[in-house]
Structures are given as C-alpha cells and as structure tokens.
Structure 1
Amino acid sequence: MKFMKKGISNITDSISALGITVLLIGAVLAAVTIAYYLLNSTSQVTLLTSVISETRNLRNSDGYGTADYVPALVAGGSIARNYNVTNGKIYNKSGGLITITGNGLGFIVVDNGEPQRDCVKVAKSIGTADMASTQINSTTITGEVTAADAATACVDGNNTLTFTTKS
C-alpha cells in the first residue's frame, strides 16, 4: 500500500506542476502580445521622428522646394534597417506608405494606413507646436495636438496623418 500511495502522490505533484507551467506559459504569451502592441506604436513614433530629423538635414539654402525626399533618405541610408523599405519606398509597421515632399521652406510628411491605436499616439507625439499643422484624416489642427483632438479625429480603421513642418 505504501508503494501505491507514493505513486498517487507523485502523479498529483506532476499534474500540479504541469498546470502551473501551462499558466506561466500563458502569462508570458500575454505579456509578449501586450509588449508587441506597445512597441509597435512606439516604433511608429520613432520612425516618423527619424524621418523628420533626417529630412531636416537635407534642407537646401533656399528651403525644400517641392522635391520628393524619399529617394534621398533611402539612398543615404537614413532609414534604419528594421523599417520596411521596398522598391525605394518607406512603409510604416502597419504597411502604409510614408511620403515626404518639399513645401517651400518646410516639408510635408504623410503617414498612411495607421490603425486607430497608433494614430492617437503618433498624432499626439509628432503633432507638437513645432509643426505648422497636423492633419488627421480630414481634420486639420494648428499647433499642438492634444490627446482629445487625436481621439476625436482618429477613426476605427485606416487613418492618414499629414504633418507640415514650419522649416
């Protein structure tokens, strides 16, 4: 009888250990999923910040004109390798096209195809008082974009963000 009791005890301990392991694996997967979504929207902000900064380095003495600055950014290696650059075009993490064109003394960055959760974060982070204007879909905001402004203008689905710089 002692032998059987010890066997049942080992089986119960094994099942308990297996249950705890399954719960831990589930918790790790949940944490990775949450981290992915948080890092993805942070990555969008980093990409656009980098694009704006690198484009400012390409300014001519008379401004930006009306040129397309994407080829110069791609050829100059200004876009980090962890971002999607295909056929000389820059794509955001959601697969939307990013364009950069001169606008006289400033330039315009258009970020297409942003989901709502990223739209709010990107609009609030990039749409600072340093911008001449920020357009979210059809809503134009001059000056700083607040969280309330972004939440109102960003829609469920794909959003287009247009940032116009002062210089």
Structure 2
Amino acid sequence: MSAAPKAGAMRSITHDPLLALARGAVLVSMGVAALIGAFFIVLAPFMVFGRFNMMARVSGEGLDGLTANTFIAIGGVLILIAAMAACAFLFLRHLLRIIDSVDQGDPFNPVNAARLAAMGWLTLAIEGISFPTGLVAAWIARTVKDAHIGIGFSLGGVLLAIVLFILARVFRKGAEMRAELEGTV
C-alpha cells in the first residue's frame, strides 16, 4: 500500500503554476505536432500522384530540375516528416503524463521510469529519421535550381536521449527505494 501525501503538500503541488504552464505548453505542442503530421500525410499522396499535373503548372516558372522523381522524393520527405511529428506527439504525450503524475504528488513510480525510457527511444527515432530526411532533401535541393538545404546531425538530440535514459534509471531507483521504505513502515 502506498502512503498518501500530506494534505498541505498535495495542495502546494497541485496548484503549482509551473506545472500548469508546462501542461498547457505540452498540450499546444501536441496539437501542433498532430496538425503537422496530418497535413504532411495528406499532402504526400498529392505530391506523388499529382506530380505530372504540378510539373506542367510549374514548367513555365523557371523551376528547372523538377522531375517526376523530384516530386516522389518530396512525397517521401513529407512522409518522413510526418513520422517525426508522430514521434514528437508520442514524446509529448509521455511528458504530459509525467507532468500529471507530478501534479498528483506521485512522480517516482515505475510507470514514469518506463515513460522516460520511451521518450529516450523516441528522441533517438526522431534523430534516426532526420538523417535520411536530410539526405533526400539535399538531393532535392541539388536537382532544383537555386535551392539550398543543409544536412545536420543533432548532437543535442542524442544528448537528450542519454539524459532521458539516465533519468529513467533515477526514477526507477527512486520507485524501488520508496517501495522499500513503505515496506519497512
């Protein structure tokens, strides 16, 4: 059985303005990620299946290098970006649930440790997806006149994943210690 937090402590946690602000920011970010993902998933088939119609429309506008393969590559990039948006949405959903557990006064539990680990894997997935996305985008930029794009690897994303994996272990150990303490009381 878990011991309930004291009423005074519970009140101070549940009325924390930082948690309310974080919750609101995460909810807005989840909405943005969902909109981006949905928009690109809907747009990708138009780029692939409507490529000949679009090529005919832009042929007179000086966009040299736009071929059927370019539009297929653009569709592929859009799908990869939608996949990254889906990973970001899942990441934010885990974060929201952690925020809610802190708000309820029970952050050190095994479920939050698993959420943090999942957030680490999602961060690595986003980094993994971003590399081929950048490569295809660079190819598109080379085929289209006056287009420029940079390919980058985010060391920050990898470091975030490492921090999340370490925090998952900290939370797991905290949950174990709390269970031991409750068992001795």
TM-score (norm 1): 0.29
More strand by share: 1
Asked which structure has the greater CA Rg, the reply is 1
Bigger relative CO (Cα 8 Å, ≥ 6 apart): 2
TM-score (norm 2): 0.27
